[in-house]
Amino acid sequence: MLRYPRVIPKSLWLVLCLLGTGMLSGQGSELSNVRERIIAVNPAGQLVDSLTIAPGSLEIIALDGRRIPESDYLLSGRFLRWMSTDLPDSLHLRYRALPFALDERMRLIDSTQLRREEAGLVIGAYDPYVRSGLLDNDTKVQTRGSFSRAISFGNRQDLVLNSAFNLQLNGELGNGIQVAAAITDENLPVQPEGTTQQLREFDRIFIQLRKDRTQLTAGDYELRNPEGYFMRYYKKLEGATFTTITGEGGDAGAWQNSASVAVARGQFIRQNITPGEGNQGPYKLTGDGEQRFLIVLAGTERIYLDGMLLQRGLDADYVIDYNLAELTFTTRRLITRDVRITAEYEYADQRYLRTLTAGSSRYERGRMTAYVNLYSQQDSKNATGDLELTPAQREALSLEGDTPGGVAVTSIDTLNGREELRATYELRDTTIGCAVDQFYLLNSNDPVRGRYVATFTDRGPGGGPYRLDPERPANERIYLFVGYDENCRPLGRFAPEIDLVAPQQQQLFSAGGAYRLGEEGAIRVEGSRSKLDLNRFSRLNSGDDVGHALRIDADRTLRIGSDSSGWAIAGRGRYEFVEKTFNFINPYRSPEFYRNWNLSNRLSTIRPEAATEQLAGGGIGLLREGIGRIDYDYEQFTRGDSYGGRRHEALLQLALAGWEVAGTISQLNNEDTESRGNFRRPSLRVSKEFTALGGWELSATYGGERSVRRSIATDSLSALSFEYDKYVVGIEAPATDRFSFLLSASQRDDKLPDATELRRSTSAREVSAEGKFQAAKNLQVGGNFTYRALEVPGQDLVEDRPSSTFLGRLDVRAEALKRSFTSQTTYQVGSGQEPRIEFQYLYVGPGLGQYIWQDSLYNNDGRIQPNEIELSPFPDIADYIRVSVFNNNFIRTDNAGINQRFNWDPDRLWRGTTGIRSFLRRIALNTAINIDRKTQQADDIQPWNPFQLAVADSNLVALNVRRRHGLFFNRANPRYDIQLSNDEQRNRRVLTTGYESSRREEWELRFRYRPNDQLSLETAGITGRRESDSERFNEKDYKLVFHRLEPSVNWQPGEFSFNTTLTVGREENTLPEIDGEFTLRREAKFEGNYRNWINASLNWIQIDYENGSPSSPVGFALLQGLQPGRNLLWNASLTQQLGEYLQLNLIYDGRQTGEAAVVHVGRAQVTAQF
């Protein structure tokens, strides 16, 4: 057992004396309007008080005593908006409140009832000729939106129903009740893209009712934790929250109560990510295990880099794909082997129906504040979500007790459903006597014996008797039985079993309060009780369900001398007790907490086991306004009898005559049952602002850490020990709307343990620049670039190798010559990783999907292989959808990309001129290039050059090219014009079955002539190629060259419109050495339109197919869903406005391809606009 002397340092005696003085002075006037409170930081901003804050009185102080600068926040009336993301989770607010709300709306009459008549403005006027809205309200409630219902049916598909609903309400319902609602409902709900700071969510219901100081929120909404220390959460819910405030505040008191009942949509997780040198991502978010399908709830993530909260956005720090659970960092944040990445988020967990109830009550009067918070969530034992438990599985869970990882049960079952979607097996008897089961699974497509299916779980090397069979591509992964060795140890890593997780219950209760000591100081206390039942089916292991926690802290600032002197002394103290069995909802401590106490590793990816913890400490500081401060803190942290740590921290901040000095030092000594250690963290930043040079600033920074842990028995260094020193110098220009610039250079040297000493392992040098420059009104340049060189003197200590990393982005926007010339360029270079993509296809029914299964073109074995799925040429036969499957197989890549847009329109410059300029102004040009290239490292590849596309297949990982060029003569002329265009699309991606690439390029020359206002003649000549290349499935390879001639006539007599287009073309597969397949195509298309409400078309297509089989992958690509011979496609549609708000759409499609039967498809849709 470790023991520590119970001696209170002299500095803490001084703190206690200061606090005692504050308590005595706190007995002064009860009429003070000074208020203090602890808040949980909401990055979106928050309401400070129900009354107006006195201007200039707000002070924001971190719990460690550090004052938050005014540049980090903006106070607007009563609302506080954060301008910085580098903020702690909780802050201490001190301010004066005026006895009224200056921004409260006051009105004597209802202006919405004003009507203008001949006599002037009157209230309550009635006009019988004004028609009410669709929702028939009295205009107090503003409504807008739409509602539609559509059905689709045909002789080749079932009835399909689609719906969409969008409604916004805002206004007064009557009797002072305000309503705000946003209701959307889509057939296929989608999540927003995680590439912007603000998210627009779809398919949600949100209704809010307010009257005076009472509010009801219902539907899909976010719920944040109330005031408190231990209770932290941010939940996306479906339910309702009721909030009310009574009392006038101040000495009269104010009481705020809220209650929530809802269904929780997700499960919280904190994940530490191991970075790669120069690897910007994407990094997989894996939840609490290796889920194959993981969806992150949009907007719930909080991403930390080295303990600093980042911002989402393409122009910020990171982007996230919520549906694929992939995190990628932008060029603003260089990811190296040394950074610490922590991701907190909620992911969709539908195994059980999870209900949530929460309540809070807060009372404030004078100097005193008290609150009570309650939170409870539990999984239903009966109403399950996606997980269906059998009676045997319920019994197994009831006998197991608390098992956080779940209970392993066999997943072998008989096939129930469509057999082409699943990998089927047959059961075989095993001859291995020590096998756990006396049978094993063998993949089989036999319709009689192969009737078993299973879900396999990765148990790690040697954890199961099966391995993944990469040579057998299928819609579902196929596993091969490899058995056991001579010692009966499994030879594989997969087992046909799943982990059943029991329904859980979690509760947290907290109660606390605060008492303000004069104008600058307070005492706060909070106690909390938690309950976590990991298995509601079982009462076993219930002794550790309940835990308790306590937090007491106080601070006091005393002015020295007169108020004008600016001198003050600040004291603070805190004590925290947390039982081993206490469980929080979301973490209330910083992600770096255990690392700061030398209880984690260099990257903070491990966390110690639970233990009863005590944290006590205090500090004292001397400060002077306008100059700076100096602080000292002492803390002691214990974890049961196994760990004890004592930490001393000092802080210095000075600002004088353009000089700024900021330094900290932390010295920790710790000891556990097996080792002793110390952790030293000094940092210093010195900067000088030169006013004579317009505010340019020079700075020098040092930061370092040294963590040493030695075994008590052998004096050897622990593998968790490390040391680094980092030096940075920089120069920065004062930021303006037109110009900003920052240049810095740094060097970092790392050391890792080697036996009994720390030895140099890596050394890195970085140079980075960031800025923007508006050279003129029509020229803007901005960007950021970083170069990093990594040396590895300790090759035996790390897995990294010497490397160089380029990371950057350049944006250039230019306009000239009266905007006749415009250009926009974005160039990016970096490195990351590309996942090997794996898809799985699910059957959804005809007309509901995007893909079709073409088994007859391949092996006709009745099982889906990835190469047998094609995009459907017609919507009514599309019956499969595609989903991405989790795959932790990544390829390291160098990334380069460019997005260029250029436009030349001389008509803006030379309009109205004569001579040669009159001719040249008719020639216009625009071009757009988008290249995104990812390659593996090779000597002949320029990683910074996105235009280097001739790269060997073995080194080209992914490629996406979109290119379009257009040359126009006489564009927009009503009589005639000529257009020459070139389009190209190239795509390459890497799958688990190898790479797949496609390419399409075409040239088009189009001529239009309009002899009169009713007749228009057009002719187009088109030539190009289509290519497909598959590494594994060679039967899908082709190179099709095509030529087409398309004359057309468009006649518009009055309200009618007729269009006739003829097409003659040839398309040939030039990939084979001998003559390949080709088609001759003749097409006539007739279209008619009357007043844009009746449309009809008929398309006659004659195809001659030669030198091949149409029932082949290449034949399908050539025919594009049609058949050799005659093909007929026809369409008729009607659009009719029914009254002022309703619109009816009727659509009929028919086709007959070759000798196939006629297909009829009808669709009807009604849309209401309001």
pLDDT digits (tens, 9 = 90+) for 338-385: 999 999 999 888 778 889 999 999 999 988 999 999 999 998 887 666
Spatial neighbors of 210 by CB under 8 A, at least 6 apart, are: 177, 178, 179, 180, 216
Q: Which helix (H) or strand (E) holds 393?
A: helix 391-400
User: Which amino acid is residue 589, in one-letter code?
Assistant: R
Give the CA radius of gyration of the chain.
Answer: 35
Q: Which helix (H) or strand (E) holds 392?
A: helix 391-400
Cα–chain center distance at 589:
23
Spatial neighbors of 919 by CB under 8 A, at least 6 apart, are: none
3-state secondary structure of 918: helix
CB-neighbour burial class of residue 131 (10 A; exposed 0-12, middle 13-18, buried 19+): exposed
3-state secondary structure of 538: coil
Q: And the tokens for 417?
A: 């459903």
CB-neighbour burial class of residue 765 (10 A; exposed 0-12, middle 13-18, buried 19+): middle
Cα–chain center distance at 571:
41
CA-nearest of 682, 690, 798 to 337 is: 798
Q: And the tokens for 809?
A: 């982005």
Q: Would you say 750 and 758 are in contact if contact means Cβ atoms under 8 Å apart? A: no
Q: Would you say 276 and 246 are in contact if contact means Cβ atoms under 8 Å apart? A: no
User: Which amino acid is residue 643, in one-letter code?
Assistant: Y
- CA end-to-end span of the chain: 74
Strand segments (E) across 1031-1077? 1038-1051, 1056-1069
Q: How many Å apart are CA 791 and CA 749, to the nearest integer? A: 10
Count of beta carbons in the 10 Å neighbourhood of residue 493: 19
Count of beta carbons in the 10 Å neighbourhood of residue 517: 26
Q: How many Å apart are CA 501 and CA 349, to the nearest integer? A: 12
What pLDDT is attached to residue 15?
38
Torsion of CA 443, 445, 449, 453, to 10 degrees: 60
Maximal CA-CA distance, the chain: 104
Q: Would you say 122 and 81 are in contact if contact means Cβ atoms under 8 Å apart? A: no
3-state secondary structure of 934: strand
CB-neighbour burial class of residue 854 (10 A; exposed 0-12, middle 13-18, buried 19+): middle
pLDDT digits (tens, 9 = 90+) for 252-288: 888 999 999 998 888 888 989 999 898 998 998 887 7
Q: And the tokens for 148?
A: 């539609």
Instruction: Please provide residue 1141's backbone torsions phi and psi, each rounded to the nearest 5 degrees.
Output: -120, -20
- Which bin fits 956, alpha (ψ -120 to 50), beta or left (φ > 0)? beta
What is the arrangement of strands in the sheet containing 90-96, beginning at the earlier edge strand? 34-40, 90-96, 59-62
DSSP letter string over 1101-1159?
A: EEEEEESS-SSSHHHHHHHTT--SEEEEEEEEEEEEEETTTEEEEEEEEEEEETTSPPE
Q: How many Å apart are CA 206 and CA 183, to the nearest integer? A: 6
Strand segments (E) across 247-351? 254-264, 266-273, 283-284, 302-305, 308-309, 318-321, 326-329, 341-348
Q: How many Å apart are CA 550 and CA 970, to the nearest integer? A: 79
Q: How many Å apart are CA 1009 and CA 1017, to the nearest integer? A: 5
Q: And the tokens for 873?
A: 């040429």
What is the arrangement of strands in the sheet containing 457-458, beginning at the earlier edge strand? 457-458, 494-495, 466-468, 479-481
Q: And the tokens for 561?
A: 């001398």
Q: And the tokens for 275?
A: 């970075």
Tokens 């932390």 belong to which residue? 666
Instruction: Please provide residue 910's backbone torsions phi and psi, each rounded to the nearest 5 degrees.
Output: -115, 25
Question: In order along the chain (1170 residues), what is the average pLDDT of each group of 10 residues?
Answer: 40 38 37 71 72 80 77 77 73 77 58 53 47 51 80 78 80 82 66 54 74 88 90 90 87 89 88 90 80 80 91 89 89 91 88 90 92 93 72 83 81 84 85 67 83 88 88 84 85 88 91 89 94 88 90 92 82 95 92 91 88 95 91 95 94 91 94 91 94 90 93 86 94 90 95 90 94 88 93 90 91 90 93 85 85 85 84 86 78 91 90 87 93 90 89 87 94 90 92 86 95 92 93 86 95 90 93 80 93 90 89 88 92 86 89 90 86
What pLDDT is attached to residue 23?
37
pLDDT digits (tens, 9 = 90+) for 914-952: 889 888 889 999 999 999 999 988 888 988 899 998 888
Q: Would you say 436 and 409 are in contact if contact means Cβ atoms under 8 Å apart? A: no
Q: What is the pTM for the complete model shown? A: 0.79
Q: Would you say 1085 and 1098 are in contact if contact means Cβ atoms under 8 Å apart? A: yes
Q: How many Å apart are CA 236 and CA 201, to the nearest integer? A: 12
CA distance readout (Å), 351 to 316, 347, 391, 534, 538: 35, 12, 16, 14, 18
What pLDDT is attached to residue 8?
40
What is the arrangement of strands in the sheet containing 318-321, beginning at the earlier edge strand? 283-284, 326-329, 318-321
Q: Would you say 39 and 91 are in contact if contact means Cβ atoms under 8 Å apart? A: yes
Beta bridge partners of 603: none
Q: What percent of the chain has pLDDT over 90?
A: 38
Strands 439-443 and 1159-1169: unpaired
pLDDT digits (tens, 9 = 90+) for 149-195: 888 888 777 777 777 778 888 888 777 888 888 877 765 445 555 55
Q: Would you say 38 and 370 are in contact if contact means Cβ atoms under 8 Å apart? A: no
DSSP 1070: -
User: Which amino acid is residue 923, in one-letter code?
Assistant: I
Torsion of CA 705, 711, 716, 719, to 10 degrees: -50
Beta bridge partners of 370: 363, 513
Count of beta carbons in the 10 Å neighbourhood of residue 123: 11
What pLDDT is attached to residue 107?
58
CA distance readout (Å), 1026 to 342, 874, 1106: 45, 20, 18
Q: Would you say 234 and 248 are in contact if contact means Cβ atoms under 8 Å apart? A: no
What pLDDT is attached to residue 457?
87
Count of beta carbons in the 10 Å neighbourhood of residue 560: 12
User: Which amino acid is residue 373, in one-letter code?
Assistant: N
Q: Which helix (H) or strand (E) holds 397?
A: helix 391-400
DSSP 590: -
CB-neighbour burial class of residue 414 (10 A; exposed 0-12, middle 13-18, buried 19+): exposed
